Amino acid sequence: MEHTRPIIALLYDYDKTLCTQDMQNYGFIPSLGMAPEDFWRLANAFGWHEKMDGILAYMYIMLREAERRDRPFTREDLVEAPKYAALTFDDGPRADTTGRLLDGLLERGAAATFFVIGEQVPCNKELLQRMKAEGHQIGNHTYSHVRLLKADKDAVVEEIHKTEVLLTEAVGEGSFWLRPPYGLIGSERSELIRTPMIYWSVDPQDWKLLNKDKVVAAVLEAVQPGDVILLHDFYSTSVDAALEIVDRLQKEGYDFVTVEELFRIQGVEPQQGTLYARPDRVRTLS
């Protein structure tokens, strides 16, 4: 599916002027493995033409999935209403556990978001490069896992900036969204943050349970489409749980996307310094 790469790049930093004819010319529609007439009939049936943002985001996801599965999409894939969720992993990377998690996610065609600790970046550059190459999102979890609620302002800036510099060295330029350690940040400190901030909407307390089956059960009981699930790739039991969660929810029709993709799919433009539990739910700061 070589010919789809330019359109993926195009859609990723998409331009709102991109028109339907371009999509056809760039080989996007043929790559779905269906006739253009069928595609547009479906698109119209869904009212997609009225919400271009959502369409482009959805197309991007479909293309990426098609590349991973190495098979074109069928009509059934498109008609079945997709359910999306974002798995997020804090406190890594950690050589033994994160590597195994990446293997499992790749096997399953699932994407995730990793909020990494700056201190652990220099010795895990290859893992980070792999995350980026395999379509995961990388975020900032501060340099030394500080409580941003109480840290003084200089320390807040320093903790975030140092991590950004290390991440840029490891994987190149990017917008590294912040997950404040413990999910805690006050409104005054949040004004110093130049990226969106991501909380979570499902927390199975994997760090406390340290038990695969209990973590899986807690997530399956709570999860709804559009949720942001909090886990820690630091624990082997959490890696096992994450892979089983993917297996179980994929059977229920879920697709796992990055947090950034979840915002695009829901057509929400994330704002810097705002803490989101999920794209459609802002968390009030203290």
What does the binding site for Zn ion look like in residue numbers (CB under 5 A)? 90-91, 181
In the chain the first and final C-alpha atoms are separated, in Å, by 49
Closest chain position to Zn ion (CB): 90
Least separation in angstroms between CB 30 and Zn ion: 44
Q: Which is nearer to Zn ion, 91 or 206 (CB)?
A: 91
Compare residues 63 and 112 and give the one whose CB is closer to Zn ion.
112
Strand partners, 84: 255
Locate tokens 């060295």: which residue?
Answer: 169
Q: What angle, 0 to 180 degrees and rounded to 10, lies between the N-to-C axes of helices 212-222 and 236-251?
A: 40
Is it true that the peptide bond before 279 is cis, omega within 30 degrees of 0?
no
User: Amino acid letter at 159?
Assistant: E
Nearest approach, Cβ of 189 to Zn ion (angstroms)? Answer: 17
Place of tokens 């293997």: 103
For Zn ion, give the closer residue by CB, 29 or 231: 231
If the CB atoms of residues 91 and 227 are measured against Zn ion, the closer one turns out to be 91
Annotation says 38 is catalytic: no
Q: Which candidate in 136, 232, 233, 255 is catalytic?
A: 232
Please report how close the Cβ of residue 179 comes to Zn ion at its closest, in angstroms.
7
Residue pair 156/148 in contact (Cβ under 8 Å)? The answer is: yes
Output the smallest distance, CB 234 to Zn ion, in A.
8
Is 90 a residue of the active site? yes
**What is the enclosing helix (H) or strand (E) of 76?**
helix 75-79
Question: Would you name the residues annotated as active-site residues?
Answer: 90, 232
